[in-house]
Amino acid sequence: MAYFMVVLLDDNRFAKIKGTELEEKVQYMFGGELRCLNVEVSEEMKDKILQEFDTARIDSRGAITDVPVAFLRELFNQVAEKKSLGSEVIEAVLAKSSEIKELAAKESEYLPAPEI
Amino acid sequence: MSSLIIERPLPHGGRLVERVVRDKEAAKKMIKGCPTYDIKPTLHYETGVPVRNVYREIMSICYGFFSPVEGSMKQAEVERILKERRLLNEWIFPYPLVFDISKEDYKKLGVGSGDRLVLNLKGKPFAILDIEEVWEIDNPEELAHKTFGTPEDNPEVVRERFNKKHPGWVIYRSLNPIVLAGKYTIINEPKMRPPFDRFWFPPRKCREEFDKRGWRTVINHQTRNVPHVGHEFLMKNAAYTGDVEPCHGILVNAIIGVKRRGDYPDEAIVEGHEAVNLGGYIKPERHLPTICLWDMRYGNPLESLLHGIIRQNMGCTHHMFGRDHAAVGEYYDKWSTQILWTKGIPSFGFPKPPTDVPYGLSIRPQNMREFSYCPTCKEMAYSETCGHKREKLSGSFLRGMVAEGVQPPAIIMRPEVYKAIVKWWKHFNYPFCNEKYVINKEKELEVDLEDL
Ligand SMILES: [Zn+2]
């Protein structure tokens, strides 16, 4: 099975990758209502994610989900910085595992609610 | 009248159990001079975290959700359930339900058969237990295995041996050794706290509500989740089953009880379902969200049997069941519930489906697959009829979206439902159940009690 992680693009994030080569790789889901990028995850990186983050799961499509929000935020940062969706993105995120875990510990107490 | 018309079924066991004394003076007389015991949560046998509160069982028994069960079970009854899933009065029932206390508490209380014990909740008198038998659980681990089944004894559906990763197994494994068996009676009716009060429709009141609304046929939707559009389509389309016309009503019944980290808060679940009808996605005249108090055992086919009993007692004619119904992990075959309701599971005492055995159920199962968005049909499509590649929506994908603060598009989650999530997110400073929520919930519970 090929593994991947989904990076959701709200307007704010979309603006940051607009005009780069990533824009062509944006996928439109749910009738064009949801923009996202799929980041490739190698077998080895998948194992590492599951090992480092015990909440992580793999859904029926092969998407890795239920990682801390701090992980997902860093994932977008790395995608935007590297302008890539390759396996090196996940490697770069995992290099920051301990930092992410620290943020995640606070995250389980408090997550700011969106203003709607 | 067409002979194909389906009438509302009688309660399981033939009559609704109602064991609630509403006259305070009478209640005071009933408990005069009786020993009292403060209800304690069942604590995880290893971690000490609350995993169950027997008060929820007392509520569901006394208000008739579990009819014909009337109390904490005697040893012979528990043994019969484990062998053939039947009560001593013959009616089918999936789980042992007991009032368990520690040996120290038993010694301190000094009660026995024939005694009346007053059960306090949150420091107030709540119910009585008229003790008919005291027995001991010798081996809680064996009880836990027998409750859910094993691959050797139940090869039709059990795929893996149960262990401490299964929250239902942990509940039975964590029981105290002394069981006080006998009937419960609520003598001081608790008040449901908001928002749960709006959704409290015990079986008698629920049946009366169906009468008021003119609902003869009603299909139940089991939930422990905030609804996304896939759930909404499941409900609307399953309701086309009925008799000579689609079901008159859709009853949503949320199981409210001990939570696991990462679940949505119960408050958001009930208001999320309500938002579906307030937003008009399903007319309020056709849709009723309700609750039942129960600490989920996650017993897939066995849980589905309990769900059938609860909803038949509430007056439903139909019940929808999906894949992995009320399951965690891969202990059971993912179609176990469908196997039970279409063929039966002989090793659990069902050579035929629970609707086809003596003293069985009358509610009709409606086994549904799933709805997801099809970009070709440009609509929410049913997995068994749409021939295209659809965009599957997993609950965990949606949770990730919510956690990141991205509002899901309306084709995934209705904005009104999302608003209910955010409302309780602001209240708890967190969109899901975290440790603080879980601990606090077991302290506060869903009810308040006045002085008697
Ligand atoms: Zn299609």
* Distance of alpha carbon A96 from alpha carbon A104, whole angstroms: 12
Distance CA B188, CA A116 (A): 41
pLDDT digits (tens, 9 = 90+) for A57-95: 888 788 998 899 999 999 999 999 999 999 899 999 999
What the block records as the tokens of B438 is: 């879980």
- Say what the pLDDT of residue A22 is: 93
Structure-model confidence comparison of residues B182 and B322, the more confident one: B182
Domain range for A88: 3-110
**What integer pLDDT is reported at residue B81 of this predicted model?**
98
Q: Which of residues 92 through 111 in chain A touch B, CB cutoff 8 A?
A: 108-111
Residues A86, B418: contact at Cβ < 8 Å? no
Tell me the shortest Cα–Cα distance from B347 to chain A, in angstroms. Answer: 30
> Which pLDDT score, from 0 to 100, does residue B397 have?
83
List, in order, residues 6 or more apart from B409 with CB less than 8 Å away. A30, A33, A34
Q: Are B174 and B212 within one domain?
A: no
Residue B17 lies in a domain: no
Residues B184 and B30: beta-carbon distance below 8 Å = no
Question: Would residue B37 count as lying in a domain?
Answer: yes
Q: Does B329 have pLDDT greater than 80?
A: yes
Residue A82 placed within a domain: yes
User: What does R_g of chain A's alpha carbons equal in angstroms?
Assistant: 14
The answer for A66, left when phi > 0, alpha when psi is -120 to 50, beta otherwise, is: left
* Four-residue CA torsion sign, B175, B179, B184, B189: negative
Give the CA-trace dihedral at B127, B130, B136, B142, to 10 degrees: -60
* Interstrand relation of B36-38 and B116-121 (parallel, antiparallel or unpaired): parallel
CA torsion angle for B356, B357, B359, B365 (degrees, to 10)?
-40
CATH of residue B370: 3.40.50.620
pLDDT of the residue at B33: 96
**Does B439 reach chain A within 8 Å, measured CB to CB?**
no
Assess if residue A33 is contained within a domain: yes
Domain enclosing residue B314, as ranges: 196-444
Residue of A109, A111, A114 lying closest to B407 (CB–CB)? A114
Residues B213 and B77 in one domain: no
Single-letter amino acid, residue B259: K
Q: Residue B5: inside a domain, yes or no?
A: no
Q: Is residue A97 part of a domain?
A: yes
Alpha helix segments (H runs only) across B45-109 = 54-62, 75-84, 103-109
Residue A85 covered by a domain: yes
pLDDT at B207 over 90: yes
Collapsing DSSP to helix, strand or coil, B222 comes out as strand
| Assigned domain for B403 exists | yes
Residue B336 is predicted with a pLDDT of 97
| CA dihedral sign, ordered B257, B263, B267, B270 | negative
pLDDT one-digit tens code per residue, A21-53: 999 999 998 888 899 999 999 999 999 999 999
- B49 with B178, same domain: the answer is yes
Give dist(CA B401, CA B412) in Å, integer: 11
pLDDT at A2 over 90: no
B195: preceding bond cis by omega (within 30 degrees) = yes
How far is Cα B389 from Cα B377, in angstroms, rounded to an integer? Answer: 10
Of B96, B76, B107, B101, the residue nearest B175 (C-alpha): B101
Whether A100 is covered by a domain: the verdict is: yes
The pLDDT, as a whole number, for residue A107 is: 85
pLDDT for the residue numbered B85: 98
Q: Please, what is the average pLDDT of chain B?
A: 96
E strand or H helix at B443, and its extent? helix B435-444
User: B236 and B362 in one domain?
Assistant: yes
Confidence at residue B116, expressed as pLDDT on a 0 to 100 scale: 98
Within a domain: B10: no
pLDDT band at A109 (very low <50, low <70, confident <90, very high): confident
Note whether residue B346 is domain-resident: yes
pLDDT over 80 (residue A1): no
pLDDT band for position B347 (cuts 50, 70, 90): very high
pLDDT at res. B406: 85
Same domain, B222 and B308: yes
pLDDT at B65: 98
Q: Which of B93, B105, B225 is nearest to B177 (CA)?
A: B105
Structure tokens at B17: 């159990």
pLDDT exceeds cutoff 90 at B359? yes
Number of domains comprising chain B? 2
In sequence order, the 6+-apart residues with CB closer than 8 A to the CB of B295 are B51, B52, B53, B56, B171, B257, B258
Which residue is listed with tokens 């007056």? B315
Same domain, B130 and B256: no
Residue A116 lies in a domain: no
**Chain B interface, mutation test: which of A65, A67, A79, A103, most B Cβ atoms within 10 Å?**
A65
Residue % of chain B over a pLDDT of 70: 100
Given B131, B162, B191, the domain boundary residue is B191
Q: Using H for helix, E for strand and C for coil, what is the string for B411-442?
A: CCCCHHHHHHHHHHHHHHCCCCCCHHHHHHHH
What total of structural domains would you count in chain A?
Answer: 1
For position B167, what pLDDT does the model report?
96
Looking up residue B164, the CATH number of its domain turns out to be 3.10.400.10
Tokens of B39: 């209800």
Cβ distance A109 to B425 less than 8 Å, yes or no, reads: no
Note whether B432 and B265 are within 8 A (CB).
yes
* Cα B444 from Cα B452, distance rounded (Å): 19
| pLDDT single digits (tens) B256-268 | 999 988 899 999 9
Best residue of B380, B390, B404 to probe chain A, by most A CBs closer than 10 Å: B404
| CA separation for the pair B249, B214 (Å, rounded) | 9
> What pLDDT was estimated at residue B350?
98
Pick from B24-33, B162-171, B404-413: least confident: B404-413
Q: How far does the CA of residue A32 sit from the closest CA of chain B (Å)?
A: 9
Instruction: Please say whether the beta carbons of B299 and B148 come within 8 A.
Output: yes
| B433 backbone φψ class: left, alpha, beta (φ>0; ψ -120 to 50) | beta
From B437, which residue of chain A is nearest by alpha-carbon distance? A109
Examine the domain organization and report whether B360 and B391 are in the same domain. yes
Q: Which of B173, B186, B215, B216 is nearest to B6 (CA)?
A: B216
* Range in B180-194, B202-216, B426-440 the model is least confident about: B426-440
Of B158, B191, B224, the residue at which a domain comes to its end is: B191
Please check whether residues B187 and B280 belong to one and the same domain.
Answer: no
Q: What's the confidence (pLDDT) of residue B318? A: 98
Report cis status (omega within 30 of 0) of the bond before B68: yes
pLDDT tens profile A63-72:
998 899 999 9
Q: How many angstroms separate the Cα of B358 from the Cα of each of B13, B14, B27, B68, B84? A: 11, 13, 38, 15, 12
pLDDT value, residue A31: 85
User: Which one of B172, B191, B210 terminates a domain?
Assistant: B191
Contact call for residues A87 and A75 (beta carbons, < 8 A)? no
Q: Give B389-443 pLDDT, tens digit per residue.
A: 998 887 888 988 898 888 898 999 999 999 999 999 999 999 999 989 999 999 9
Inter-chain contact B403–A69, Cβ cutoff 8 Å? yes
Same domain, B316 and B384: yes
Is the Cβ pair A60, B394 closer than 8 Å? yes
